[in-house]
Amino acid sequence: MSVEYTKLANTDLIVSRLAFGGEPLGGADWGKVDEAQAEAAVERALELGINFFDTADVYGLGRAEERLARALGHKRHEVVIVSKFGVNWEVDPQGGRARTFLDASPRRVVEALEKSLRRLHVDCLPLYLIHWPDPNTPLADTLEALEKCRQAGKVRYIGVSNFPAPLIREAHRRLSLGAVEFSYNLLQHRTDAEVLTCCQELGLSGVAYGCLAQGLLTGKYGAESRFDEGDRRHRLQHFQGETLRKNLEIVERVKQMSTRYDKSPAQLAIQWVLETPAIACAIVGAKSPVQMDDNAGATGWQMARDDWCCLADGKGEHNNE
């Protein structure tokens, strides 16, 4: 396995193109997660040369950040940690699911950042993102508060996540963005074409998450797969009905092509994302060292361009006619 690195545009951050997705460390919304195995996956990522770790304050309501810090140990000062804010929450006193709501107000910027720094046991975050646009807060106000945090030395670079193209452009006009994070994979790449084009035009580094479509592109789930209420996949549209049937046709094409490269379907799906113009890095979660090893096999090789285009077009096999 050969880990590849890149420099995020508008920054001096050199990061692995494969980023570790820390949401499963929160222990919520992904079914059963073995905490020890999840933290061992972080340790394995470090061993493999991964130096880019993605998390957010809302993942496990702070638990993901705490567990990431514990798993990284002193290495947390040597890697690039990106965290996000903007989804606030109220805990259910009866023990039910917390109520979440968008909040990127200037007050929340300061409050969320201070708490993330404490949970991660760092004095400064290399990269801090607005998790989702907050329609109740002017973007200029959020960015002004973030810039004050940057000037205070608590964050180095600022970025956005899940922003539509017009808001990305506005944010970049006001403050040079260090990264743009958005969901991107073989099943939905056409819906994010505008964001991808925006990143290309502005010279911004795209950081893709959801590269395996919540596991669907690994090939291990089918029409009969079922998920309990503690797993978000039981409510996601691409795991439902006719949408799932169509998606499984694409998964089958990924499986077929992956055998020709002697790669797993997951490795092919991740590599496809990494070869997309304007995508600097792919965030992929791992619940165990075994999963981390499989993810790492997505780097250090390339697909034939014809194969990449065929999957992008939904054909799966190149037609020479």
**Residue numbers annotated as active site:** 59
Contact 130, 103 (CB under 8 A): no
Q: Which two tokens stand for residue 27?
A: 């222990």
Q: CA nearest 50: which of 22, 26, 11, 9?
A: 22
Contact 165, 197 (CB under 8 A): yes
Q: CA nearest 36: which of 24, 51, 28?
A: 24
Residues 202, 208, 211, 213: is their CA dihedral positive or negative? negative
Q: CA nearest 257: which of 216, 309, 299, 293?
A: 309
Beta-bridge mates of residue 6:
15
Distance, in Å, from the CA atom of 186 to the CA atom of 317, rounded to the nearest integer, reads 15
Q: Could you give the C-alpha distances from 126 to 146, 155, 178, 204, 314, in angstroms and in order?
A: 13, 6, 10, 17, 37
Q: CA nearest 254: which of 231, 271, 279?
A: 271
Distance, in Å, from the CA atom of 118 to the CA atom of 318, rounded to the nearest integer, reads 51
Contact 301, 261 (CB under 8 A): yes
